Every structure is written in C-alpha cells, then in structure tokens.
Amino acid sequence: MESLPLQRGDGTEEKHRRRLCVGFCYAFKAGTGNATTANRLIANLSDVFGVVRIANLQDATLQQQSLDALVALHALHFHDTIMSMSPHLPIVVIMGGTDANCCLHDAEKKEKIGDVLTRAAAIVCFNQCLVDKLQVAFPGAYDQKIAIIPQAVCVEDEDEEKVEEEEKKEEEAGEGAMPRVAADAVVDEKEDDKCVLVPREGMSWKQTLGVAEDDVLLLLPASLRAVKDPSFLLSVFQQHWQQQQQQREREEATSSSLRKNVYLLLVGPVLDEDFVAHEPLLLDLVARFYETKRSKKRRQQQHQQQQQVDETLFGWKNGCAFIGNLSRPLLLKLMKESSAVLNTSTSEGMSGALLEAMALGVLVLARNIEGNRSLVVESGTFGLLFDSPQECLDVAAKMAFEAGEERSSSFTSSLVEMASRAKLHVAEKHSLKVEMEAYIRVIDKAFSTSA
C-alpha cells in the first residue's frame, strides 16, 4: 500500500506527455460532501487532464471509447457503470465514507463493492481508518492498490451566480427530481429544498436570521439522512432553550439578564424523506422551512416585499431551525459568522464541512467517532469531541455565559487557540496542491500499468 501524497518533481515530465482524457463518475446532489469533493477534484484535475463528467451508465457507454482512464467517487453507487466498462480501461475508485462505514455491513452491498475493487487499478481512501475497514472486510485482497490521499479544502470566495448556474446544470444532469420530505402535509413534490433566506447587501447572516451579534450560533451542515443523525442534538437543545426563557422571566423581575442565547441551525439537502418523517422534532423544523417557502412565494405573487425577518414565519422553534440547502459561497459566509461548526454523524469518511470550518479558523465541535477523530485527533487539539448531546450543550452554554459576562477566560482563550491550530494544520496537511499531485500520480500509474 502506498501512502500518498509524496513530494513531486520539477514537472518536466508533464510537458511532453499526451493529455489524457479522464472520465469522472459523479452524480450527487449539490450541498452534499461528495458533491463538494467531486467539484473540487474535477476542477483541479482539468488543469492536467481532459475531464469528462459521467453521471450514469448511459453517459459511460457513450464516452468510454474516448477515455484513457476513469475515476469513480463511491464504489457502490457506480457498480453497474464500472462493471460495464471495457476491461482494458484503468479505473481509480475513491472510497466514500458510506462505502466503507455502512455498505460493508450488508452482504449484498459488500459483494458489489468487492467486484468494483477487484476491477479497479487503484483505490483511494481519505485516511487510515477507511483503509482499516477495507482490510477487515477483504483481508490482504487490495493492499497493493490502496493509496491514502487526505481530502483537501478550498475556502476561497466563489462567484455566487456562477455556482448557482453550475448547480442547476448538475441537477438537470443527475438522477431526476429529489424525493419529497414527507408525505401529505409537509411538502409538495414540486418543491425543492433550496434556502430562501439570503442576506441583503450590507446585512450579516446573523441579522438575517434574527440572531444578536454576541449570541452563540452553532451551525450543523448536514444532509438530512440517518447516517448524519441531524436530530441528535435537537431535544436537549430545545429543552435548554425553554429553561433559559423561564430563567430570564424570573431574572427580569429583579434585574436585566446578561444571559446570551444559544441557537442551533441546520443546513443541508433533504435526502431521506422517510427518515425525516420518523423524526418528530426534525420533521417540525422541516415543515416550518417549507411553510416559509410557500409564504415567500405567496408574497412574491402578491408583489409584496418583506422588510424584516418575521421570526414566526422564519421558523425558529425553541432556538433551533432548518433553512434548507445553501450554495457553497453562502454556506462559507455563514460558517464565518458561526460560533462553531458541528458534526453529529454516526460515521464519516473525512468531513469536508469540518475541514472547511477549520480552514476558516472557526471552532469545530464533532461527535466522537473514528472519522472525526482522524481530523480533530483528540478533544482539545484541533477542536472538541463530544459523546452525548449534553456534552455539546455544556460547551455552548459556557460560551454563551462568558459572552454575557463580556470577559475572556482561559476557556475562551483555549477555544481560540484550538481554532488557530486547526487552521494552520489544515493549510499544511490538506492543501489543494498536495492533493492534486497525489491524484495525478495515481491516475498516471494506473494508465501506464494498463498500457
């Protein structure tokens, strides 16, 4: 097994070689981690290769005669596509977190993943914990094919209109309309999950959301599906909100309260409507989101402009809300204004959202699972890990208390130092340059070996 990336030479080799045509198999909804990974890799690999996007089996059949190599993100998703390709075409498979963490526990899915990995010329994993899972599932079978390439991260400003145009094309080229959130009363089939809240010029995200500047805003960017466990914190956080409101009412009888609010904001695409339908607290937030969209549509039809945020209409419920799927530029701006970025997944490969937050110098609070430990290392190094909702809330409540006291303590200083360390670490270990050099070597090696 080769551990990548390694240092690259002076680049003279590329000047004289033929420009390879590489197909990239990718069909994921905008706003997901896989979509971000695919868009980044396609954009940067295009500087060296001719890259063709392959969204489905039909695309692969039409394009394979012109391809020199194929890269597939997610082994199981593209099983049929990969197995239909010419046996002479070199294929590089990038293991997604769901591939290794979830699908290998299902016998039928494991068999299909095994077929794909046997067919592959090279296998890319983001970290050692994904490699370990493959080695347990298929002892010794693919060790010589595996390369470890940590995910890179790019948080440079992007043009919002250009991104929206690209995302629209992706949706049209993808697998059709996304499913409904839940049956009957929640959302019409024609409705999408795109966020309708966009800060006006000169306004911050916090102002748009109706959140005070010194309140604690926790951001959970996650698609709504079981593996992301977006409901994990809702009950504890909503109970805390209610207790704080009762406490404020008692305090106001004697003096003004210095307590600051803790808000929990969920952002992401709705991918599993059945899961949402069986999570009452989450379902309520999603229903409020869609009612906001319907209300905005009605106002537009009536040629009315809303001049300020209506909290009831917006959908805060005991300090928690879901605002749908954001374009990446808007999400990065929201991250910058957040007190911390969260991850509540039950399993992860390597969380792109956490990497983005770390690159921006924003504190990360992550559930204590193997994939998150690969980034945070241990609680207190590049962020904080929590095992229970209460542990996460305790950190947020302490942040809110110290914001109300308007003083800096060793606790506050430690959070700032953590975020600063994380930013430096990501810049060094997760750079685009190092990631691209590693993928170029893997693709070149796969092509030359098959030639």
Tens of pLDDT, residue by residue over 114-142, are 999 999 999 999 999 999 999 999 999 99
Could you write out the DSSP letters of every residue in 115-141?
Answer: HHHHH-SEEEESSHHHHHHHHHHSTTT
Spell 60-92 as b/e; 16+ CB within 10 A means b.
beebbeebbbbbbbbbbbbbebbeebeeebbbb
Token digits of residue 400: 């809110």
CA nearest to 341, candidates 332, 350, 328, 329: 332
Q: Is the pLDDT of residue 5 over 90?
A: no
- Residues 145, 150, 155, CA angle at the centre, nearest 5°? 145
- Cis peptide leading into residue 221 (ω within 30°): no
pLDDT in tens, 236-258: 999 999 998 888 777 765 555 56
Token digits of residue 408: 């800096």
Q: Which amino acid is at 4?
A: L
User: According to the model, what pLDDT value does residue 13 have?
Assistant: 46
CA nearest to 385, candidates 345, 337, 425: 345
User: How would residue 420 be classed by pLDDT, with cut points 50, 70 and 90?
Assistant: very high
pLDDT in tens, 140-175: 999 999 999 999 999 986 555 554 555 554 445 444
Q: Is the pLDDT of residue 178 over 70?
A: no
The full set of domains in the chain, from first to last, is 2-152+431-450 (3.40.50.2000), 181-429 (3.40.50.2000)
User: According to the model, what pLDDT value does residue 450 have?
Assistant: 76
User: According to the model, what pLDDT value does residue 165 have?
Assistant: 54
User: How would residue 202 be classed by pLDDT, with cut points 50, 70 and 90?
Assistant: confident
User: How would residue 183 be classed by pLDDT, with cut points 50, 70 and 90?
Assistant: very low
What share of the chain has pLDDT > 70, as a percent?
82
CA dist., res. 96 & res. 77, Å (int): 10
Three-class DSSP category at 71: strand
**Residue indicated by tokens 């990969």:** 82
Token digits of residue 79: 């099983």
Token digits of residue 339: 């007190």
Mean pLDDT, rounded, for 318-341: 95
Which residues does 329 contact at the CB level (< 8 Å), separation at least 6?
A: 157, 158, 159, 160, 163
Chain mean pLDDT for the chain: 83
**Which pTM does this prediction carry?**
0.85
User: According to the model, what pLDDT value does residue 195 have?
Assistant: 84
User: According to the model, what pLDDT value does residue 29 have?
Assistant: 74
Q: What is the sign, positive or negative, of the torsion defined by CA atoms of 116, 118, 124, 129?
A: positive
